[in-house]
Structure 1
Amino acid sequence: MKPTILFASAALALTATPAAALSLTSGQVGEIYCAARLSGDMAPILAILTPELTALVALHLPEGADAAVTIPWQSSADYANTCMPVGASGTADAPEVIIAFGYRDPNKAQYADRLVMHFVEQRLRIDDIVYATGGTLREKLGEAR
């Protein structure tokens, strides 16, 4: 194969198609989630929830309340020192990202929650969080009614 054709083929393969460019990857969603949890600024997460989860969160978030502390975004209410996407599971239509939380204190147990996602208008959105301790974010918000 001629080098020019090989180069052109490689360049074409590296460009994102418009359909692929519509959505974040599941890994990017995990990174955004962790950055938000560690910083305490949940605005980036609130922007990438499914419409159904957005409505449920809004029902349980009083005006002016801090979403980072009012909504149970992770298994433990303790501030984790580390948060990292460490794996994936689920299906192509409903991918899940495994999020590991850690502490500097060796007496605190590490754990991993899972972000459950769905595509909304070809964009990957967080639809629920499965807690390592059992239960889900949707269940907890449903209990608070």
Structure 2
Amino acid sequence: MLRLVLTAMGLLLTTGAAMATSPTPADFGEAFCRASLDGDMSPIEDALSPTLSVIVVDAWAKSDALQAAAPDEKPPLGDGLPWRSWQDYADGCDVGAIESNADTAKVEISYSFTSDSSANYSDRLNLIKTDKGWVLDDIEYDTGDTLRTSLAASFADQPIK
């Protein structure tokens, strides 16, 4: 429960600051890659659309409740949010093609593996523009799923808002 409150407060208090640093979709993509390579997605978690923020807070609350009910079992978000198609650490991350209009953008994020280039893949960030900058509204995985559908499937018996 404490994580839910802190996450909600963090989303409310820091979203403006994070968004101000992403004036363009390319900037957001670069910030996403930096966060991914650093293994700290909190700057991105602070730059979610209002709708995605609600979904994420709800998913964390449900995952935490399942963990409390069965402490010996790994909860759905035991490895954190599924920020990319595959949770294996990619040692390369680059911004690829960007498609945008005034209000939305799709930013390709290309992940690479020095040890095995056949494992390289790309996801797409779906961004929306707010009065403070670009924010993440969803991620289209290389697998065809999305962040939203992945979270919903993780809690099929407890639908996410």
Alignment TM class, shorter chain as reference: 0.7 to 0.9
> Aligned pairs, how many?
123
| Shift in CA distance, 22/39, structure 1 to aligned 2, threshold 3 Å | closer
CA contact (8 A) 1:83 1:102 kept: yes
What is the aligned partner in structure 1 of residue 102 from structure 2? 92
| Shift in CA distance, 126/70, structure 1 to aligned 2, threshold 3 Å | same
Aligned-partner SS, 1:41: coil
Cα displacement string for residues 68-94 of structure 1 (whole angstroms, at most 9, x for unaligned residues): 931110011111111111120243321
The one-letter code sitting in structure 1 at the alignment partner of 2:113 is Y
Query: Which whole-Å CA distance do the structure 2 matches of 1:98 and 1:68 have between them?
Result: 26
- Alignment pair present for 1:71 and 2:70: no
Identity of aligned residues (%): 35
Higher-Rg structure is 1
What is the aligned partner in structure 2 of residue 15 from structure 1? none
What is the aligned partner in structure 1 of residue 3 from structure 2? none
| Shift in CA distance, 23/41, structure 1 to aligned 2, threshold 3 Å | closer
The structural deviation recorded for 1:23 is 5.4
Aligned-partner SS, 2:44: helix
Aligned-partner SS, 2:35: helix
Deviates more, 1:100-109 or 1:50-59: 100-109
What is the aligned partner in structure 2 of residue 48 from structure 1? 47
The structural deviation recorded for 1:41 is 1.0
Query: TM-score, normalising length from structure 1?
Result: 0.75
Query: Which whole-Å CA distance do the structure 1 matches of 2:133 and 2:114 have between them?
Result: 35
Query: TM-score, normalising length from structure 2?
Result: 0.68
Match of 1:142 among 152, 156, 159: 152
The structural deviation recorded for 1:107 is 5.9
Query: Which whole-Å CA distance do the structure 1 matches of 2:96 and 2:31 have between them?
Result: 13
The structural deviation recorded for 1:22 is 8.7
Q: Structure 2: any 5+ residue segments left out of the alignment?
A: 1-19, 65-74, 156-161
CA contact (8 A) 1:98 1:115 kept: yes
Q: How does 1:24-43 map to 2 (within 5 A)?
A: 24-43=23-42
Q: Structure 1: any 5+ residue segments left out of the alignment?
A: 1-20
Match of 1:126 among 136, 139, 151: 136
Aligned-partner SS, 1:113: strand
